[in-house]
Structure 1
Amino acid sequence: LPPAQLAGGSALLDRLQAGQTSLDVPAPLRQVFRPSVQPYLITLFRQNPAAAFARLPMPALIVQGRNDVQVDVADAERLKAAKPDAQLVFIDGMNHMLRISPKDMSQQRDSYLNPELPLARELGERIVTFIQHLPSA
């Protein structure tokens, strides 16, 4: 977003995190922050994913794409810190849609719109390896 719109978006996020809804949503953000979803977002902001993840009693695999523009590598590292026995895997080139894509969001658009594009091959390989190494029940 341009700096002026980014400031408006940041102010909106601050209001939502404070538990307040807003009708003043910048046009480029209306699809994501429309008033009908704001109560849900307020509830989401009250959650602590790392704390919830830490309470899981079973083995866990954290898979993070290095080209994910929605969830940062630092978020995956926070999950790992909260549950040190979890396995953390970074997949080079993988984005939020689990596809190999350039980091630049304008170049990732097709991966969000085209369900025919293949998933990152390493994703499947890492999941299978994780499952194969789980202790027998």
Structure 2
Amino acid sequence: MLIANFRMPILILQGKRDVQVDPSDARRLADADRTAKLGLFTDVNHALKSVPSKALADNLSTYGDPDLPLLPAVVDQVASFILSNSPTLGSGLEVPAGLGAGHGGDENEYRDKRQ
């Protein structure tokens, strides 16, 4: 797998309600690189937006809704990843309250394979 040869920090985020890519693909990507961080989010789709319904129409309607934000836990993970992997940003800066708070809820899974 190509990702196994990639030599930079890798963050893989996947929604469990993604109708385009199965969460098992995200797990396989993470398994191919022992340093990859993997976040699996319940009730989140391919656009990383919250979709509490199993209805396909509800899921797809989020793609074109600019007023619907990304799931806050996704934003937390991205911010934490950037701060922890940036030689400039990560040195001496603390993650602001509410950012990088971890997995963002018991329903979500987050795995840092470097720990």
TM-score, normalised via structure 1 length? 0.58
Q: How does 1:109-128 map to 2 (within 5 A)?
A: 109-128=60-79
Letter in 1 for 2:12: I
Matches within 5 A, 1:1-137: 51-101=1-51, 102-134=53-85, 136=87
Whole-Å separation in 2 of the counterparts to 1:77 and 1:56: 16
Q: What is the root-mean-square deviation of aligned Cα atoms in Å? A: 1.6
**Structure with the larger strand share:** 2
Structure showing greater Rg: 1
**Which range moves more in the overlay, 113-122 or 93-102?**
113-122
Runs of at least 4 residues off by over 3 Å: none
**Which structure 2 segments of 5+ residues have no match?**
89-115
User: What TM-score, normalized to structure 2?
Assistant: 0.68
Aligned residues: 87
